[in-house]
Amino acid sequence: MTLRAAADLAPDPALYRLVADAERRARVRRSRRLAAVAGGLAVVVLVVGSFAAFGGGVGADDVRPATEPVRPMTSAEVVELVTSLLPQGKVRFERVETPGVPGPTGDRYRTDGGLYLDDGKGESIIHYTVDRTELTPDAAAVCMDSFSTPQDSCERTTGSDGSALVIDKLRDRSDERLREWRATWASADGRRVQVFEYNGQRENTNRENPPLDADQLRALVTAPAWDRVFDALPARENPPKPPTPEPGPKAEELLAKLVPLLPQGAVPSGQDGKSDPHLTVTYEGRTSMLTLNVTQPGKRGQQDKEYAGSPGSAGPLAVREQRADGSLVVTNSFGNGKTATEPLLHWSAAVYYADGRKIEIFEQNGENGYTARPGQPALSLEQLKAIVTAPSWRS
């Protein structure tokens, strides 16, 4: 198994709705696809001594000017450095990028690699990423959204130097035995170190938890030794800045519009606008989760509309209605995947306007964004359709 199979261990960020969005992007932006991940350094097997000693943060008191020249570093030197930071065991590198040389993503400010660590209990996958970003720590080091990803815990701390450290313990959506622990350290000047570890491999989980505990992860991502890698990456021209807010109404405002559109007698609860706006609705004794997705007018939404009208954009139960005003309404029911129909797990309705505006609502029987159970949902497809096509969304 290659390290790319580690992606199967990681919880998906959301359900089919995000898969569908990604597929639409791929279809209409085919020319922008990145090259497939190529093989890196030949496999290297090393036996490591005891866990290395660590200091405080990564170069916390050593912020370099953007004009400082880069100090090159070979992939072999990266192997030696990373190995020295790991606990005792056998290390087998699957892929190592050379810092400063753009990898498959084409990002010359980033370098990453993957390896297998065998501490006597079997091999476990570990992936690391070191990059210079233009993000502030508030954006560069964040907990995953627990609504869409099973999460045992997430600890976020900030340092006196403005840095942030996150230890996020996640589970796979489909198999709770599969665990991914993430550690992220981000500095005020845009530097970031990330480590992702798993409790074995997809075909063979060999332990309850990943091999490094929280303290070891914390020490690993904050090790001053990473400064050597940062020296080999070019400096960003622009200093970090807060992300630009998404245009359009906030999630709380969208939920405030949604609630009055629910059928008479429906009882909403558990409204949450931290990520995708969602709430729980109970109607005629049935309870389901509703998640709202709104795209503002623009080219992106127009591309979505074009793709939504194509035959391969949805499964066999999708119904498309082209309206006189140029809008397209699509209702759909599907199971575990867009073409699955037995059992049905998801219901959706969407309207795509000519100017690119999109109003879409998803329904499922569950308490969060990754739990879906069969059974009659609280609202029918016709009721979902009435919600998304309501004129109040355009006011």
CA distance 55 to 225: 9
CA distance 236 to 66: 7
**The residue type at 79:** V
Q: What is the pLDDT of residues 29-40, one digit of tens each?
A: 333 332 333 333
Q: What pTM was computed for the model?
A: 0.71
With beta carbons less than 8 A apart as the criterion, state whether 6 and 289 touch: no
Check whether domain 251-394 has CATH 3.40.1000, yes or no: yes
- Strand ranges for 62-219 from DSSP E: 89-96, 110-118, 123-132, 151-158, 164-171, 179-186, 191-198, 200-201, 204-205
Please provide the average confidence, as pLDDT, over all residues in the chain: 83
Q: Give the percent of the chain with pLDDT over 90.
A: 65
CA distance 101 to 34: 16
CA distance 213 to 215: 6
Q: What is the pLDDT of residues 182-241, one digit of tens each?
A: 999 999 999 999 999 999 987 789 999 999 999 999 999 999 999 999 999 999 989 998
Cis peptide before 343 (omega within 30 of 0): yes
Per-residue pLDDT at 191: 98
Each domain of the chain, given as residue ranges in start order, spans 37-231, 251-394
Q: What is the pLDDT of residues 128-180, one digit of tens each?
A: 999 999 999 999 999 998 888 889 999 999 999 999 999 999 998 878 889 99
Give residues with Cβ within 8 angstroms of 257, minimum separation 6. Answer: 249, 392, 393
